[in-house]
Amino acid sequence: MSKLSDLKRQFLEHIEIERGRSLKTVENYSRYLDRFLSFIKSDSPRAITDNSVREYRLWLNRQPGNGGVNETLKKKTQNYHLIALRSFLKYLRKREIDALSPERIELAKVSERSLDLIEGDELSRLLSSPSGDDIKSLRDKAILELFFSTGLRVSELCSLSRDIDLNKDEFSIRGKGEKVRVVFLSSASKEALRAYLGKRVDVDDALFVQHSPSSKSKEDLRLTPRSIERIVRHYAAKAGISRKVTPHVIRHSFATDLLQNGADIRSVQVMLGHANIATTQIYTHVTDKQLRDVHKKFHSRKK
């Protein structure tokens, strides 16, 4: 019988090659599965039973979290471990290896996710914060405008090359799971990109690069996700926004802006690159324009 350690390695190779998962996803799955295999202390697939999974879930639920002395591992994080295990069991079943059925694993119920949002005036201040005509300010203005115009994930924005055709209002991006979708450029984002690219003198292929004396000796000038997150935080503080602002918060603003102005949920799902519409449903709780109109029309505090 195959050993679990060998099967885990083959599974990780499978999701990387055949399933096209990102290296970060493969790394996370590896860490979650290592935790489970270490817990059951067995290399046999038959050791994965209802009882061993139940004991593992109890153990997970009692692990310390990052929020404080008395806080345990969040349900959402526990579910990440279970999703990795369930995917592994599906792979074992596909290989006709005798192990627990993946359907036996149910995810823990989690509280409804809340959105980190900034108000419209805060968003306007953020987008107008980079006001100089130097190369860094022009770059940062283009980054912020492109985020709000497209709803790109930070990793997607980092991957862009400078060969974007600014005569068109759209371009294709390869997102999570190697899925390609179309995103759209606003007039403001195109204007900001033209201004930035017009001032570039380097020949680096990346759309957004470092512009500092120390970067001249580097071969790869492409900005990293962490660098862009720092840029967003800097301009949020400059705009006087006290709450935490990240590229993902701007992505939230992109989605809520579309829904507040009448876009349908299915279109927003496609533009965000969500594989499941349930992921997009969270935005309807704060942006259901029709419900607000009904409330405004029919509700009266005089009654």
Task: Give the active site residues.
Answer: 153, 176, 248, 251, 274, 283
27-36, 235-244, 252-261: least confidently modelled range: 252-261
Question: Angle at CA 293, nearest 5°, toward 291 and 297?
Answer: 120
pLDDT score of 115: 67
Query: In this structure, are residues 158 and 208 in contact, taking their beta carbons and an 8 Å threshold?
Result: yes
Tokens of 212: 């500092």
- Give the orientation angle of helix 135-150 with respect to helix 225-238, to 10 degrees: 100
For residue 302, pLDDT over 60 is answered with no
Phi, psi for residue 2 in degrees, rounded to 5: -65, 145
Residue type, 107: L
pLDDT score of 300: 61
Q: Region 100-115: what's the mean pLDDT?
A: 81
* Summary mean pLDDT of the chain: 89
> Per-residue pLDDT tens for 163-206?
999 999 999 998 887 789 999 999 999 999 999 999 999 999 99
For residue 76, pLDDT over 70 is answered with yes
- Delimiting residues of CATH 1.10.443.10 domain(s) in the chain: 120-293
- Delimiting residues of CATH 1.10.150.130 domain(s) in the chain: 4-104
Query: In this structure, are residues 151 and 254 in contact, taking their beta carbons and an 8 Å threshold?
Result: yes
Q: Region 250-274: what's the mean pLDDT?
A: 90
Q: Determine how many CB atoms are found less than 10 A away from the CB of residue 229.
A: 15
Res. 298 pLDDT band, cuts 50 70 90 = confident
- Which CATH number applies to 4-104: 1.10.150.130, 3.40.50.1370, 1.10.3720.10, 3.40.30.10? 1.10.150.130
Top pLDDT among 64 and 38 is at 38
Topology at the third CATH level for domain 120-293: hpI Integrase; Chain A (1.10.443)
Query: In this structure, are residues 130 and 138 in contact, taking their beta carbons and an 8 Å threshold?
Result: yes
Task: List 182's β-bridge partners, or say none.
Answer: 172
Task: Report the percent of the chain where pLDDT is more than 70.
Answer: 92
Contacts 24+ apart (CB under 8 A), 24-29: 28/80, 28/84, 29/84, 29/87, 29/88
For residue 64, pLDDT over 70 is answered with yes
Per-residue exposure over 154-169, b if at least 16 CB sit within 10 Å of its own CB, e if not: bebbbbbebebeeeee
Query: In this structure, are residues 149 and 188 in contact, taking their beta carbons and an 8 Å threshold?
Result: yes
160 HSE (CA, 13 A, CB side): 24
Determine if the pTM surpasses 0.85: no
Q: Region 257-267: what's the mean pLDDT?
A: 88
Query: How far apart are the C-alpha atoms of 64 and 60, rounded to whole Å?
Result: 9
